[in-house]
Amino acid sequence: MGLLGLKTFRHGVHPPEHKTETSALAIRQFPFADPLVVPLSQHLGKPAVPIVREGQEVARGQCIARPDGFVSVAMHSPASGIVRKIALAPGGGGRMIPSVFIQPFPGSTQEVAEGKPCPVDADPDAIVAAIQAAGVVGLGGAAFPTHVKLKIPEGKHVDTLIINGVECEPYLTTDHRVMLQQRDDIYEGIRYLLRVCGAQRAIIGVEANKPDAAEHLRQGLPADLPAEVAVLRVKYPQGAEKMLITALLGREVPSGGLPLDVHAICVNVATTAEIGRLLPRGRGIHERVITITGPAVAKKGNYRIPIGTPLRYLLEQAGVTGDVSRVFLGGPMMGQAASTLDQPITKGTSGVVAFDEPSAQRSARPVYPCIRCAYCVDACPIFLDPSTLGALARNGEYDRMAKEFHLMDCFECGSCSFVCPSHIPLVQQFRVAKAAVRKAGAPK
């Protein structure tokens, strides 16, 4: 429990929210780009295997790639059109990713091809398969295949399903809008999820900066749905799975463990809504809701956008003011900077934030030595010592960082870098260190 009697976790930070710029704007449909570039690897796990060939006509919503094994999901065509080619296209982090290029038909409609419905009272295994076939991944940004975490191993049980409507990243309002506009889809999704994971109850966690969403969800709750809405104190990174579980249930996910170890499962609210919307009609994810915002964007707003829309087209449609200097996918705390505007929107992209400030403004911030102010120590939600970790990282003592200072528990929320008055790129140092430790053979 925190101040005002609202639940929360300990530590964390309060970045400026910038949410009111888009939170009142209803979701609008985004036009089709030409071409749409659908990467075959938009999720954690193995890339999907294309089942279409070049020159083939596809319908909007048609499955164009099948999952390759269990930790993989299907892909669906975002528009009715022609498969132009299957080739490498720029993805996140500067990598080239095999992608399906689709040229939409002129005047391509919003009609969607539908497949075999999966009723809510189906066998749990059938629901898991249907979620995989629908290409559902965590829409909050992690893009982890949802069906994988719903598959409860023998001997484990889940008592609480947590629906993550926290949306703690600044600027983003997609989950907020989804909660206001897709209430019934969310309830339906909860029914599917409860049936699959066997939990007795569901809690929808919403931060106190979205009182309208919390109230809306609470009022419409069907009497037979064992769900409740919990309002949380506003704090970053409350949307992180571990922090949310601690805030709501007072349980700590063990180091190196999963929410399952404390009998909880956490699913993003937009993911839940998609499950509730797609499964009854046998559809797949071929579009998603994103927030397009930032100081450089003229027409800020929330859009239902086809997967595979290139950033350049997106920004041209939304309109930009001044020189766009930085574009990032996801929120500004954990989102990735776009390396090129040819990069497409994927299932894990929850927002596009564009900045236009002169680059001098940022590079004018010098990096000072650590003055041991302990701001980072008070910010870290998992109680690491970022100051000492940073000093060790500078000396390349990665092994010691992992063994003595719990480096591998860092989930890179960026709170330490955010508060650091010396502007030390702490979280980036930890990313590098973690990669080095993993390469050397991860210690326990």
Partner 1 sequence: MSPLAKTLEIRTSPHVLSGHAVDTIMFNVVLALLPASAFAVWAFGLAGLLTLTVAVLSCVATEWWMCRLSRRVSTVADWSAVITGLLYGLTLPPTLPLWMTALGGFLAIAAGKWLFGGLGYNAFNPALVGRALLQASFPVAMTTWSAGFLPDRFRAVPAVLWTPPFLEPVLDATTGATPLAAWKFERVAASARDLAFGFTSGSTGETSALLILFGGAYLVARNMMNWRIPVALLLTVGAISGVLHAVDPTRYASAPFMLLAGGLALGATFMATDMVASPMTSLGCVIYGVLIGALVIVIRTWGGMPEGVMYAILLGNAVSPQIDALIRPRVYGTRRARTS
Pick out residues in 359-388 that bind partner 1 (CB under 8 A): 359, 362, 365-366, 368-375, 377-378, 381-385, 387-388
Q: Which residues contact 229 (CB under 8 A, 6 or more apart)?
A: 203, 204, 206, 214, 217, 218, 221
Residue from 145, 187, 417, 434 in contact with partner 1 (CB under 8 A): 417
Q: Determine the interface stretch with partner 1 among 19-27, 48-56, 123-131, 318-326 (rule: CB under 8 A).
A: 318-326
Residue closer to partner 1, measured from CB, 125 or 323:
323
Residue 243 and residue 381 in contact, taking contact as beta carbons nearer than 8 Å: yes
CA distance 19 to 26: 13
Residue 412 CB, shortest distance to partner 1, in Å, is 8
Q: Determine the interface stretch with partner 1 among 11-19, 153-161, 199-207, 283-291 (rule: CB under 8 A).
A: 11-19
DSSP per-residue string spanning 163-204 = EEE---STT--HHHHHHHH-HHHHHHHHHHHHHHH--SEEEE
Give the N- to C-terminal CA distance of the chain in Å, as an integer.
32
Residue 345 and residue 290 in contact, taking contact as beta carbons nearer than 8 Å: yes
Residue closer to partner 1, measured from CB, 153 or 369:
369
CA distance 217 to 181: 10
Using CB under 8 A as the binding rule, whether residue 95 contacts partner 1 is answered as: no
Using CB under 8 A as the binding rule, whether residue 323 contacts partner 1 is answered as: yes
Using CB under 8 A as the binding rule, whether residue 109 contacts partner 1 is answered as: no
Using CB under 8 A as the binding rule, whether residue 335 contacts partner 1 is answered as: yes
| 345: nearest Cα among 83, 42, 58, 110 | 42
DSSP per-residue string spanning 107-148 = T--S---------TTS-HHHHHHHHHHTT-B-TTTT--BHHH
Residue from 56, 125, 404, 438 in contact with partner 1 (CB under 8 A): 404
Residue closer to partner 1, measured from CB, 72 or 343:
343
Number of residues that bind partner 1 (CB under 8 A): 73
Using CB under 8 A as the binding rule, whether residue 263 contacts partner 1 is answered as: no
Taking CB under 8 A as the criterion, which residues in 233-262 touch partner 1?
242, 246, 252-257
Residue closer to partner 1, measured from CB, 211 or 254:
254
Taking CB under 8 A as the criterion, which residues in 119-138 touch partner 1?
none
Residue 96 and residue 42 in contact, taking contact as beta carbons nearer than 8 Å: no
Taking CB under 8 A as the criterion, which residues in 154-213 touch partner 1?
170
Residue from 6, 260, 325, 399 in contact with partner 1 (CB under 8 A): 325
CA distance 198 to 193: 8
Residue 102 and residue 78 in contact, taking contact as beta carbons nearer than 8 Å: yes
Q: Determine the interface stretch with partner 1 among 122-130, 196-204, 267-275, 333-341 (rule: CB under 8 A).
A: 333-341
Residue closer to partner 1, measured from CB, 7 or 191:
7
Residue 433 and residue 398 in contact, taking contact as beta carbons nearer than 8 Å: yes
Residue closer to partner 1, measured from CB, 143 or 420:
420
Residue 50 CB, shortest distance to partner 1, in Å, is 29
β partners of residue 297: 320
Using CB under 8 A as the binding rule, whether residue 419 contacts partner 1 is answered as: yes
